[in-house]
Structure 1
């Protein structure tokens, strides 16, 4: 495994729509392992392939590793299939836009379908910080950054 360089805004790869993964092989597994190591080293809670310069529909997350044991999740070709009407406003950070927290409103609960490293399909519902993180990383795959969704505080 290796720690990869994180691409910083305004690099063009961060604004490009990532391509679907079609080859589920050792190279993809190595990429995912390197992304996980990079995420922990940064330290972050999620990392998308465009953030390491690769326009592929892959991201990794681990929202609880700082408070407990590492339990990384790998999502290949993810797609939100449903989202709650209820929303939550959270402060989000981005490894590609350091020191620039954004307040972003997102659905509180999502249903997601994705593939694993072997190409096997999965579906599950997510809520809380995990739902926020997944939506943030999925935005990266679509060329959207948290600064695009930032809500100013109103009093």
Structure 2
């Protein structure tokens, strides 16, 4: 029997969850696996979706709203009501392509900052859906990038940690009121 997880794709004046921003310790903690996919988890997923749509995002990881769980919601077509969002519970990357591509990324936890980041072109992942069923997915383009970006959050990594042009990054961060001290370049981040 299907469980209705869908929420209306609209902006709420007061989204249910509060976003955490670059510099907040909660963004640097590795998350815990979800042991049981139940109604409580589905409610967190609904609230994450409502918060993501309210902030004009296409992806949101649980640590960004202060939830220490391996939970991600993604919707690369937030303006298309017919396109259901993707819910990833305990996702694991099982394969990455050799092809690397550079593209601009932004993050709800670092509003206004957009920088180029190199990532594998395509990823394959295994995860559980909102019903607790095991799934696999092969994704490239925007969806593949979004999955990798959000999965980084589950490991305490933020996209600015992957930016190679540190001078441009420092300028962009300070322009938007963020400290470059909050960046932990990926070579210093423990995987």
Same fold (TM over 0.5): yes
SS in structure 2 opposite 1:81? Answer: strand
Matched, 1:56 2:69: yes
Query: What are the residue-to-residue correspondences of 1:91-102 with 2, within 5 Å?
Result: 91-102=104-115
Structure 1 position 111 matched with structure 2 position 124: yes
Find the partner of 1:16 among 21, 25, 29.
29
1:29 aligned onto 2:34:
no
Structure 2: distance between partners of 1:23 and 1:62: 23
Regions of 4+ moved over 4 Å = none
Q: 1:42 aligns with which of 52, 55, 74?
A: 55
Provide closer, same or farther for how the CA distance between residues 17 and 35 of structure 1 changes in structure 2, counting only shifts above 3 A. Answer: same
Tell me the equivalent position of 1:133.
Answer: 146
Query: Hey, which of these two has a bigger chunk of strand by percent?
Result: 1
Unpaired runs of 5+ in structure 1?
none
Aligned length: 152
Residue of structure 1 in register with 2:186 after alignment: none
Query: What's the RMSD between the two structures over aligned residues?
Result: 1.4
- Contiguous gaps of at least 5 residues in structure 2: 1-6, 8-14, 167-191
Aligned to 1:144: 157
Q: Deviations over 1:76-98 (max 9, x none)?
A: 00000000000111110000011
Task: Flag the structure with more relative contact order, 1 or 2, with Cα contacts below 8 A and sequence separation at least 6.
Answer: 1
Larger Rg: 2
User: Which of the residues 85, 103, 109 maps onto 2:98?
Assistant: 85
2:22 paired with 1:4: no
